[in-house]
Amino acid sequence: MGIYHSIYKYIRIDCVLYSGEKAVMTTILQVTGLTKQFAEHKAVDDVHFILEEKTSTALIGPNGAGKTTTLSMLTGLLKPTAGSVKMLNGDLRTNIGFLPQYPQFYPWLSALEFTEMAARLNGVTAKNAKLEAQKTLEFVGLGNAQHKKIATFSGGMKQRLGISQAIVHKPKLLLLDEPVSALDPVGRREVLDLLKGLQQETTILYSTHILNDAEEMTDQLLFLQNGKLVEQGTLREVRQRFDEQNYVVEFSNEQEAKLFASSSEQVIGCYVYIEIVNEEPTMKELLQRLSGCPYTIRKVERQTASLEEIFMKVAKKA
């Protein structure tokens, strides 16, 4: 019973992954041949990608990979040397919200004044701006601090305020540059939870080098290295390309594991590692094989590499 429970748990996860992919997608942003050259150095080199509506995309890469330069070009702060950024349903500047890595605010303004100003600058009427700002500050958890001067805010509060100023006008596309890398674990968790809440509302493109975050809230991955987009796709697609997956079966002792394993399967201690190649053997085949097994099976797991391991492989390949 325990074995089946374990196996079905993994089958269920797989099904959720498949059905979780949205059936009908609308492209919101098209980036074509984006290039930025600084003197001799090519910071971003011929990057192409599209963003689908209400998806979350992680721009991953080591420091200096070109993530911030890419985001700067998407915001319009930096002019590309070549290539184009096209928002398919409207003007880019009016439809984006942007949070820099270290957002800086006017310390003499209150959180409400700043968010209200952000809303009005994005075209929200003066009448609605205050109301929207209050609602947004409540959403990011700064409702009680809305009248406090920003000068008194902690790093976590500033990051929340940064999110609030980026979403107050309900942008179609939210661009976030390393949204949690400067925060302590508690602040990081709070901001990640906030962003997960936003995933249903808007399209998110965020850069990060913290791969756990990307693994947690990502529909699409863009791997940047030395300015080049070296890999892209959904988490599942990238996993399929780079992941060596195994079923791991744990027996009560090493001898039983050796007796169970075929010649092509690796045995380490009481564990048998059955490699999955092109989804073979399937879970059903493994279950059939296990049901005829006379030994004590303690655990069955489908083992997948972490995003960090995949990232290292991608980096090595590039």
Q: Does the footprint of another protein cover residue 94 (CB under 8 A)?
A: yes
User: Is 78 near another protein (CB under 8 A)?
Assistant: yes
We find the least distance from the C-beta atom of residue 299 to another protein, in angstroms, to be: 47
State yes or no: residue 72 binds another protein (CB under 8 A).
Answer: yes
Nearer Cβ to another protein (103/233): 103
Q: Which two tokens stand for residue 184?
A: 């302590």
Q: Which of 77, 88, 131, 268 binds another protein (CB under 8 A)?
A: 77
Is 177 in contact with 206 (CB distance < 8 Å)? yes
Query: According to the binding rule CB under 8 A, does residue 159 interact with another protein?
Result: no
Stretch that binds another protein, among 42-50, 67-75, 252-260, 264-272 (CB under 8 A): 67-75
Buried b / exposed e along 81-118 (16+ C-beta atoms within 10 A): eebebebeeeeeeebbbbbbbebebeeeebbbbbbbbb
Task: Figure out which of the listed residues 22, 108, 255, 275 binds another protein, where binding follows CB under 8 A.
Answer: 108
Query: What is the per-residue binding string for another protein in 120-139, x denoting contact by CB under 8 A?
Result: xxxx----------------
Which residues in 33-52 are b (16+ Cβ under 10 Å) and which e? ebbbeeeeebbbbebebbbb
Of 183, 175, 124, whose CA–CA distance to 134 is shortest?
124
Residues in the chain, total: 318
147 touching another protein, by CB under 8 A: no
| Span from 90-98, 215-223, 246-254, 268-276 in contact with another protein (CB under 8 A) | 90-98
Q: Does 89 bind another protein (CB under 8 A)?
A: no
- Shortest Cβ distance from residue 76 to another protein (Å)? 7
Give the Cα separation of 284 and 93 in Å (integer): 51
Distance between CA 115 and CA 137 in Å, rounded? 8
3-class SS of residue 230: strand
Provide, rounded to whole angstroms, the least separation between the CB of residue 73 and another protein.
Answer: 10
Q: Considering the complex, what minimum distance in angstroms separates the CB of residue 197 from another protein? A: 22
**Cβ distance to another protein smaller for residue 120 or 188:** 120
For residue 197, the surrounding DSSP H or E stretch is helix 185-198
Interface with another protein (CB under 8 A), residue from 53, 113, 216, 301:
113
Binding residue for another protein (CB under 8 A) from 45, 132, 177, 213?
Answer: 177
Instruction: Give the pairing of strands 203-208 and 56-60.
Output: parallel
Q: Does 173 bind another protein (CB under 8 A)?
A: no
By CB under 8 A, residue 102 contacts another protein:
yes
Tokens for 104? 């800086």
Binding status of residue 58 toward another protein by CB under 8 A: no
Question: Are 33 and 83 a contacting pair, CB within 8 Å?
Answer: yes
**Residue 153's closest CA among 93, 110, 183?**
110
- Give the interface with another protein as residue ranges (CB under 8 A): 68, 71-72, 75-79, 91, 93-94, 96, 98, 100-106, 108-109, 113, 117-118, 120-123, 165, 177
